[in-house]
Chains A and B, each alone.
Chain A
Amino acid sequence: QKKNLSNCLEDLPSKAKVVICGGGVMGAAVAYHLSKRGWGGDTVIIEKERVGQGSRWHSSGLVGAFKPSLAQVKIAQSSIQLLKDLESQGKETGWKQCGSLLIARTRDRMTVYRRMKSQSVSWGIPCELVNPKKCQEIWPLLNVDDVLGGLWIPGDGVGDPYLFCMSLMEEAIKNGVGVKEECSITAVHSKNGRVSGVETTQGPIECQYFVNCAGFWARQVGQLAKPQVKVPLLPCEHYYLHTKQIGNLDPMTPVLRDPDGYIYLRERDGCILAGGFEPIAKPVYEEEIENSTQRCLPEDWDHFHVLLQELLKRVPSLNQSVLHKLCNGLEAFSPDCKWIVGEAPEIFNYHVAAGMKTVGISAAGGVAEATVDEIVEGYTKYDMYELDISRFLGLHNNKRFLRDRVKEAPGIHYGLPYPFHEFETGRNLRLSPIYPTLRDKGAVFGQVMGYERPTWFESVEKEADMPRPFKIAHTKTFGKPHWFETVQREYWACREAIGLADYSSFTKIDIQSQGNEVVDLLQYLCSNDVDVPVGSIIHTGMQNERGGYENDCSLARISENHYMMIAPTIQQTRCKVWMRRHLPVNGSVTLSDVTSMYTAICILGPFTRNLLSELTDTDLSPSNFPFFTFKELDVGLANGVRAMNLTHTGELGYVLYIPNEFALHVYNRLISQGEKYGITHVGYYAARSLRVEKFFAFWGQDLDTMTTPLECGRTWRVKFDKDIPFIGREALLKQREMGVTRQYVQLLLTDHEHELDLWSWGGEPIYRDGNYCGQTTTTSYGFTFKKQVCLGFVQNLDKDGIPQKVTNDYILSGHYEIDIAGIRYAAKVNLHSPNLPTKYPDKERDVYQATRKLHDPTQFLGRHYQP
């Protein structure tokens, strides 16, 4: 039933605005959306084989709206809308709104569904929790003996990727897009860091934009660019089971997903099509897979058996069904099992839309829309960091790393989404010099950007065997976690003694110039005034034109024309790209990534000054080394330690950036001198708990490219009072005038029992006076408040769901509740960082804090003090 695409190009044009590589459903959708914006005549698709070549046997066509995050949900919803639109115009897409049923075998899975049900309010996905009896009514062939319940999503359905692709192509061609089949890209050229053209087997094309929609081959296509674009993907075997005709199978049989059995089933043409995402996948070692025929491998029944057993258990009548075909089609997965979207860090105007991990049809419409938004408008409608290609580093593209990791990646798709997920493979990659010591001292690790970061410290017996084995953090509950007491102990060490944490993974960038070009650049990039005295540290956002945060960082002014930037770990690729985009073309400002040159040790707590004083001759008194300043210190016998008098969590303390070769020495001195103060190793979870309780926002968790400083109470950190232009200034000025429509708040749950109730882990809906008003971002248990603490954004939605202006009065006059998996807990709202009671008040630093009131925080909405 395959058809040929008509009106394909005979000859290649010598020039185009956009070249799309790949004539699959993704490329077709990008072309379609471009053509809708009037770019059709300037767009060319290059397809190596024929359009829609991918085998019909090797796709499931499942379309589901529920995804783990807002960006993914928005994308899926946009895809569904596109299917419906085409269908209503009489274009074939195979769209069939048969609904989907998700079933649970375990209580934790049921909790996930309850959380989804409560989240569905924020995301606008109608759904319904159902009992096992109802599950069987929806899917009569189902065995529900071990089923606890399910989630019924009537708006889901299935589509036909082939038909969808062809219809999109036909529409695109109608709107002027050129499609060239049987032509391969052989090189992608860049000039001044921007895409300048491509070479193909049929000649060159000059172009301004390139979109890598090569799907399975996206990694190889990335390698054709100069400089090489890293698209970390690796193929795994992936199976589709087709039965022969089954009598009386309703064509509207819903899609069934049984994630605890890793499987899904659907009806197709009177047969069952089934597949799944096995917990341990089989990566492919064949190096050369050139075409779609080679993408189909002989089936390995032994490997598929895991899924077959679950299918037969779930639908026992399948035992008597006759096999039609088992297809083993290769599918490429990214290291975190998420889509790869966005502008490549290596070349401007090179966009990637790949790694759709078998659900291309759910993703294509939305991903294409976002990609086209980015090309045409310069930014997407919602924050996409989670899917952005800049979430990776070079290490993620290492083939051996991918081979290791990809065994685990597909299983994530149906795995239980417990909080703080950790991968088991591809570990022990980036290690700080004190890593072996911390491991032996009981560190249990979490991985961020390939870096092993202690999450908490187990107590170890003195005689324990050394070296201690490497241990990976896990939470595996939605209630009180097993590490609660451990983190509590670490928390109190930071508040009442001394805590020592490894901050080495933080992104560290040196920015300098000969003259004052660096100051000019940073004044333009940063919303805060960075022209501070040498030795000061300034906390600032880097906004985009809309006022949103592209980066949130601390800048230490090392010398007149030299700053050291400390940014979140996950910004390592991203913030460099953002800055590079704005660097003076004459090369007068240099950026150097010194992340790997320094080990960062943070000491937190009331006695940190006493401790550090014992190890250095420098006078650390507030008059000589005030809060929020920087000094290069000698510590122990080492020198050149960049000490910053701050902690990023609101505690008193210092972050020491130590040249790597001195790291162990300084660490040993701190530990031995710190013993009398009760120095304790602390992990990331304790630090996180401190900062959530102190109401500190973090980029990537609370702040994103859509959030402005005015919305998160940081107005006083914007240089409105100075006549210095910076990116986003106009947007922020306008917002200051108009007022904000969302506000970052802290909510303390007043009737939540942390021992028994399910915890909030982020993403829970917030209700104000019984009406939905927003979602939580990050949450933690507050060990001082002895309450669950949620941070999140509150909106003022009118009866049509349109956000209205939010004022302090509006925030403070409401009665709040947080919905955790279907139960609403009363919450007390805070607009400002609370004053936590402490046994050890620090008079000097309090005085120093007071002096900063020159900003008059009451003048603006958000005035909680945040270093």
Chain B
Amino acid sequence: QDDSVTVLPSPQEVTATLRKNEFNKEFTYGTIKSYDSNQLASNNPIEDTRSEGQCIFTPGFLMGVFDGHGGPACAQVISKRMLKYIAASLLSVHNLEKIKKQEVMDNLIETFNDKADIVQDLKVIYEKSFRKYLDDLSKLHEEGDVDVQTCLEKSILHLDDDLSKEVLDPYSTDGFINHKTLSVALSGAVACIAYIDGPHLYVANIGDCNAVLGTMTEENEWISKKITKEHNSENIDELKRIWNEHPENERNTIIRRDRLLGELAPLRSLGDFRYKWSADMLGKLAVPLIGQRAIPANYHTPPYLTAKPDVFYHRLTPKDKFLIIASDGIWDMMTPLQSVKLVGEHMKGKVFFNPLKLPKKNIQLGDINELLLHRKESLKSKPKDRNAATHLIRHAIGGTEYGVDHSRLAHLLSLSPDVSRMFRDDMTVTVIYFDSEYLRQCPA
């Protein structure tokens, strides 16, 4: 219907589009030297979200990427709530009790690139859920070492459970259907969250995002270590798990066309209560909103879906240079090794975005010349984008055998959202750089 002439964006316009959501933060001390993040939408609005923050009462950073589906609601909500839930689970008993008693609760986490806000009425509901969560935590709390893996798992499951309760509780007491909480519960999101504390790296993964570690070998070559294993139909363990959880006679219907019940690509996710609640409950809550198709075909033994994360642990060494967390929009376009090589090359070139700072006093002009000659050689490989996440997205979209192709980039970026989603998904990338010097000095 649109027969107007499409004018391809210029290189400057492409760059402006790619850099629109760029974010970078540097840290002065600790494992994380800095991080770069960026997002590029294909859907309108974008269904990916991300959040990063530093725990206030405990050491450690949390960095998450969330890829929504069936609408942006769930991903938006969990990106606002998840880090807080995890941070709370890591609190000491003392701090937990102190915070519970506060009229206005202290922030548990300092977030860095937090632009979105939750509407006021939901805020009230979420605050209530969170206080309840803190009560539960203090009941369950056992003295002794906090097991991070358990904390991650429990807090994520608790959040998912709260998404459900925030619909079911008012319905069961007053028969009231809150459409806002319901739309969150009916949409879904996969998530990948890294928790970094000193040399300890934990990655909790639900669904098909991935975290990849970039490591430099003794021979100065880049190798990629894929930390996560995505929960989709290519994951045979995951298929076995699902088959085992349901009767034998559902074996042919439970995964069809590589999807859960023929509908959902990721095999674990948050929200998505259309695959978790009973058919009866769906009939009461979801059918009035979206009709009979709300109940998937062959829906016999729910729940079919869980938000239970796989939690991976890795002890960081000075060889580990960075961690890439990205939604499947990126991983559809490039392999983990490609991404590590791109970020590795970028790291080398990135140094030269900064002007030369002379290292010492009383330096001779000849020595300055040596330094500059060395820089000049490296300046040739200076990347176009200062932000590594942008660098990855640029290559993911415009990459060809012979480098980034402008016309390819321009074409793919100028498609309308309904066409665009056939060629590429929303992309979200967070690249976390580690301080090798700090890691070298970390006690074992």
**Residue A243, interface by CB 8 Å:** yes
**Contacts A243-B365, A308-B365, A312-B366 known; A323 to B358 CB distance under 8 Å?**
yes
Q: Report the separation of the CA atoms of residues A299 and B376 in the bound assembly, to the nearest whole angstrom.
A: 16
Interface of chain B, main secondary structure: helix
Which A295-329 residues sit within 8 Å CB-CB of chain B?
298-302, 305, 308-309, 311-312, 318-323
Chain A residues with CB under 8 A of B375 = 302
For A309, the closest partner residue in chain B by CB is B369
Complex alpha-carbon distance, A243 and B371, angstroms: 18
Chain B residues closer than 8 Å to A300, beta-carbon distance: 355
Most-contacted residue by chain A among B368, B375, B376, B379 (CB, 10 A) = B368
User: Is the beta-carbon distance between B366 and A299 smaller than 8 angstroms?
Assistant: no
**Bound form: Cα–Cα A305–B371 in Å:** 10
Q: Which interface residue of A311, A312, A323 has the most chain B CB atoms within 10 A?
A: A323
Given contacts A298-B355, A302-B356, contact A322 B363 (CB under 8 A): yes
A323 close to B368 (CB less than 8 A): yes
| Cβ-closest chain A residue relative to B356 | A301
At the interface, yes or no: B122 with Cβ under 8 Å from chain A? no
Count of chain B residues near A, Cβ 8 A = 16
* Segment 349-363 of B: residues with Cβ below 8 Å from A: 352, 355-356, 358, 362-363
Contact (Cβ within 8 A) A318 B355: no
- Minimum CB–CB distance from B144 to chain A (whole Å) comes to 53
Q: How far is the CA of A118 from the CA of B401 in the complex (A)?
A: 60
Residues A323 and B366 in contact in the complex (CB < 8 Å), given A301-B356, A302-B355:
no
Tell me the minimal C-beta distance from A151 to chain B in angstroms: 27
B287 within 8 A of A: no
Q: Among A301, A312, A322, which residue has its beta carbon within 8 angstroms of that of B355?
A: A301
Q: How far is the CB of A811 from chain B (nearest CB, A)?
A: 58
* Interface residue from B352, B366, B376 paired with A305 (Cβ < 8 Å): B376
**Is B366's CB under 8 angstroms from A322's CB?**
no
Q: Kindly list chain A residues whose C-beta atoms are within 8 Å of the C-beta of B118.
A: none
Is B372 in contact with chain A by the CB < 8 A criterion?
Answer: yes
The answer on a CB contact under 8 Å between B364 and A312 is no
- Is A299 touching B355 in the complex (CB atoms < 8 A)? yes
Residues of A within 8 A of B363 (CB): 322-323
B352 and chain A: residue at smallest CB distance: A302
Within 8 A of A (CB), among B166-188: none
Q: Which residue of chain A lies nearest to B366 when distances are taken between CB atoms in the complex?
A: A319
Candidates A298, A302, A321; contact of B376 at CB < 8 Å: A302
Asked if A302 and B379 make an inter-chain contact with CB atoms under 8 angstroms apart, the answer reads yes
Contact A302 B369 (CB under 8 A): no
Q: Among B352, B362, B372, B379, point to the contact of A308 (Cβ < 8 A).
A: B372
B372:A302 contact, CB within 8 angstroms: yes
Q: In whole angstroms, how far apart are the Cα atoms of A241 and B369 in the complex?
A: 13
* A312 contact set on B, CB distance < 8 A: 365-366, 369
Chain A, residues 236-270, CB within 8 Å of chain B (1/0): the string is 00000101100000000000000000000000000
Selected from B356, B358, B364, B371, the residue in CB contact (under 8 A) with A321 is B364
Residue of B356, B362, B365 touching A318 (CB-CB under 8 A): B365
Give min CB distance, B379 to chain A, whole Å.
7
Q: Name the distance in Å between A284's Cβ and chain B's nearest Cβ.
A: 15
Give Cα distance in the complex from A243 to B368, angstroms: 13
Smallest Cβ distance from A122 to chain B, in angstroms?
Answer: 41
Within 8 A of B (CB), among A320-375: 320-323
* Interface contact A323-B365, CB-CB below 8 Å: yes
A27 to chain B, nearest CB (A): 34
With contact pairs A302-B376, A302-B379 given, residues A308 and B368 touching in the complex (Cβ less than 8 Å): yes
Give the residues in chain A near B365, CB-CB below 8 Å: 241, 243, 308, 311-312, 318-323
- Chain A residues with CB under 8 Å of B352's CB are 302
CA distance A89 to B364 in the complex (A): 41
Bound complex: CA of A417 vs CA of B376, how far in Å?
30
0 or 1 for each of B367-390: is its CB under 8 Å from A? (1 = yes): 011011001100100000000000
Residues of chain B within 8 A (CB-CB) of A309 are 369
Cβ-defined partner of B364 (8 Å) among A298, A302, A305, A323: A323
Q: A308 to B372, alpha carbons, bound, how many Å?
A: 10
A305 to B356, CA, bound (A): 11
Least CB separation from B372: chain A residue: A305
Expressed in whole angstroms, the Cα–Cα distance for A72 and B375 within the complex equals 41
**Bound-complex Cα distance A802 to B57 (A):** 93
Expressed in whole angstroms, the Cα–Cα distance for A433 and B44 within the complex equals 46
B364 and A319 contact, CB distance less than 8 A = yes
A318 to B365 alpha-carbon distance, docked (Å): 6
Bound-complex Cα distance A311 to B368 (A): 12
Sampled A-B contacts (17; CB under 8 Å): A298-B355, A300-B355, A301-B355, A301-B356, A301-B371, A302-B372, A305-B369, A305-B372, A308-B365, A308-B369, A311-B365, A312-B365, A312-B366, A318-B366, A320-B365, A322-B363, A323-B358
Give the top 10 A-B pairs by smallest Cβ distance, nearest first.
Answer: A319-B366, A301-B356, A305-B372, A322-B362, A318-B365, A321-B365, A323-B363, A300-B355, A320-B364, A312-B369
- A sample of 5 more A-B contacts (CB under 8 A), given A244-B362, A312-B369, is A241-B365, A299-B355, A301-B355, A311-B365, A323-B365
